[in-house]
Amino acid sequence: MRLNTLYILGFTLMIFGLSSCIDELNIDTEQKRNILVVEGMITTENGPHKISLSKSAKYGSILEDDIKKEQNATLFIRDEVGDQVFLTEGSSGSYFTPADFKAEVGRSYTLSITLANGERYISTKELVPEVPKLNSIVLLWKKQPSLSDIQFTSGIEVYANWNDPEDEKNYYLWQTSGLFKINARPDLHVSKNFFGNPVPDPKDCCEECYVSETLGGLSIFKDNLTNGNEITHRVGFIEDDGRRFMDKYMVILEQRSLTKNAFQFFDLLNNQLSIQGDIFDPPPAKIGTNIINLDTPDEDVIGYFGVSDVSRDSIFLDNGIILENQPSRILNDDCRVLPGSTTEIPSFWN
């Protein structure tokens, strides 16, 4: 769920709550605002690093104005000694740092934005905290509780192991990605004829692909109860979908540092994403930001400009830890139709 969607959802729920009052509440729907949404982070790894800009839909009617990508904006990042780098616009609403740009531990950075209409925004200073190195990645197979012995969810739990520094407060975020090989059957591909009936439509290519994926989920942690200890913490789950573990699977883990303010932002975001729709859920809340409008400081902005140090490690999954495989789902198509797929064999695969 995007940040602007969460904000609009909170506003919508508030309106529905007010409508249950006895007295009629007249709301002027002509008072509509577009809210700037900023998404992006720079790290101590080489770029390009991406910053995305958009304006949320108007409150009055989501059909009247869809999410708008902000084009032709001017963005630059500046550190505390005055060095700055400008971002170049790529696809609509996406801006990139040079490929050789990377943040440095101990330095502070601000993001400056000037939209095409002249509106100016700036982030507060973000200091890059050092992140401890990963000791190892631990993988464990898990079968989720189910009422059926035939249909169940299973997969691999991913744990990070590291030594937390003493005498300092540390905040962490993890991003898990994967790389796997898939064998497809393009010769069994079918399509539909004029009447909607399936007919054989074999393809000449391709049977073997290597698929890269970024796994969803937001995993964060603070060391207030474990300061200075060796820590093993669950940071992700890779579901067995009948394709991922047909052959070798490579797990890539990034351990990132966060500032205290960035942690609080992601913690609140995580709480909102966990809402299930029952009476025990926390009420929807407005997600904070570290970005302000220079001309109208009280204007609402959604998003956070973050900076992180990164420790990266990878491991190949040993299929021996999978106690029960899910039924295979053979792709009867060109394997290149899968997002993130390529027929080029990674240099390190063998």
pLDDT tens column, 112-129: 999 999 999 999 999 999
Question: DSSP class of residue 143?
Answer: E
Least confident of 2-11, 45-54, 221-230: 2-11
- Of residues 335 and 63, more confidence is placed in 335
* Rounded Cα gap, residues 337 and 160, in angstroms: 32
For residue 254, give the H/E element and its range. strand 249-258
Does residue 129 fall inside a structural domain? yes
Does residue 347 fall inside a structural domain? no
Task: Give the position of tokens 């000791």.
Answer: 135
Query: Phi and psi at residue 265, in whole multiples of 5°?
Result: -60, -50
Select from 328, 291, 284, 333 the least CA-distant residue to 16.
Answer: 284
- The answer to whether the CB of 180 falls within 8 A of the CB of 250 is yes
Model pLDDT, residue 170: 97
- Range 227-240 average pLDDT: 95
Does residue 349 fall inside a structural domain? no
Model pLDDT, residue 284: 55
Does residue 350 fall inside a structural domain? no
- Range 316-325 average pLDDT: 89
Does residue 199 fall inside a structural domain? yes
Model pLDDT, residue 276: 54
Residue 327, token pair as written in the block: 């039924």
* Rounded Cα gap, residues 12 and 16, in angstroms: 6
The range of the structural domain enclosing residue 73 comes to: 3-342
Does residue 120 fall inside a structural domain? yes
Least confident of 138-152, 166-180, 255-269: 138-152
Q: 3-class DSSP state for residue 268?
A: helix
Q: How many domains does the chain have?
A: 1
pLDDT digits (tens, 9 = 90+) for 7-19: 444 433 333 343 3
Does residue 348 fall inside a structural domain? no
Q: What average pLDDT does the chain have?
A: 86
Does residue 161 fall inside a structural domain? yes
